[in-house]
Amino acid sequence: MTITHDAPATTGVTDDEILTMAATVGAEAARHDEAHDRAATFVSEAYDAMHESGYLALPVPVALGGRGATLRQLVLAQEELGTHSGAAALSSTMHLYLTLVQCWRLRRGAADAEGVLRKVADDRLVLATSGGSDWVCPTTVATEVEGGYLLSGRKVFCSQAPVAGVVSTSAVVGAPGPDAAVIHCGVPLAADGVRVEETWDTLGMRGTASHDLVLEDVFVPREKVLGTRPYGALAGPLLVAAIHFAPLVGAAYLGVARGACEEATALLRRRPEPAAAAVRQVGEMTARLRVARWALLGAVAETGEDLAPDEDTLETLMTAKREALTAARVVVDTALEVAGGSAFFRGSRLERAYRDVRGGPFHPLTPEATLELVGRRRLAG
């Protein structure tokens, strides 16, 4: 079920190499997943393996110390990693899509992008995001002061908090409202006024350590502001982030579903005479996985590697993400039916997949919000 076409010659890594790297990291992560799931502790061993192999620097251009992996290749890699460990795939997605954003900014002449990418490749910098909580209407407030802003507020869903060096975040300048402006910036987790509160105790994806970050009068120099947008609008830096995020997070959850399908299929093979209904269910799972992968890869092919920051790109990639997330949930549910009662026990790979895949619809744009976007644009002609 794995697609392995060689990458274009302009990149520094082939599809086979990137898939082997993802499988190796995933195998190490899988050894520790049950313990991290039970204790809600971070998948640190997976990150050790990612640093050792250079996995987290895959998108960084070769000239800056990375492997020059494309968006399409990262979709393949994150699906493969998710097959072994949902938490490792989802956590690393948050870093990898932000790294892709820096590559996008580099191509457009952003003065600071090269330095960030070199730190990812050379210094093992891990990038985190608070986008799941900030989204279009952040509650964190930026107060203008001499030379910059003071940020105060709470950020939730900050995956990889234990190892992140910088969080990409946003804040509203002054009182929230339709006339307010939102600034986007990177905040070092070592900055004065930043602290991690270990709040992550959830149904699934428990190994991502997506703790809260509390910001108390954190100073951000004016020159460190990456861009602005209107309050309540999916535009500017947030739009750029969203379009790079969508295909990777879809791939991570699709990987969880593929792993569940493989586990259920292996269990069914051990039965001397599998029921016809179960055989059909394996066929259904396999078909859904293939169609969802086609959606993700087709969307990336349609939009191209250098994504245009517009609603056409957003609609295309979010529609593909929606297909991957909805298919993933159906596949995992079906896998439990095929496996039977053994999947109901804690410690079962399928039981964990059932919980992990429930996180998919919470990521913006949600599946319903995606349909609203598509419908609104069709009605507008």
Kindly report the number of other CB atoms within 10 A of residue 313's CB atom: 21
250 within some domain? yes
Q: What are the tens digits of pLDDT across the range 46-95?
A: 999 999 999 999 999 999 999 999 999 999 999 999 999 999 999 999 99
Which CATH number characterizes residue 325's domain?
A: 1.20.140.10
Question: Pick from 102, 125, 148: which residue ends a domain?
Answer: 125
Q: What are the tens digits of pLDDT across the range 285-335?
A: 999 999 999 999 999 999 999 999 999 999 999 999 999 999 999 999 999
| Crossing angle (nearest 10°) for helices 86-107 and 349-356 | 40
What are 188's strand-pairing partners?
A: 166
Residues 191 and 243 in one domain: no
- Judge whether residue 195 has pLDDT over 80: yes
252 within some domain? yes
Average pLDDT, the chain: 95
179 within some domain? yes
User: What's the token pair of residue 363?
Assistant: 């990521």
5 within some domain? no
Whole-number Å distance between alpha carbons of 329 and 335: 10
Whole-number Å distance between alpha carbons of 282 and 292: 15
Range of 289's domain? 236-379
Residue type for position 306: D
Q: Token pair 């006339």 is at which residue?
A: 179
Residues 280 and 368 in one domain: yes
Which CATH number characterizes residue 157's domain?
A: 2.40.110.10
List Cα–Cα distances, 191 to 42, 217, 221, in angstroms.
22, 10, 12
- In a 3-state reduction of DSSP, which class is residue 58? coil
- Split into its structural domains, the chain has a count of 3
What letter does residue 137 receive in the DSSP assignment?
S
Q: What are the tens digits of pLDDT across the range 114-128?
A: 999 999 999 999 999
- In a 3-state reduction of DSSP, which class is residue 227? strand
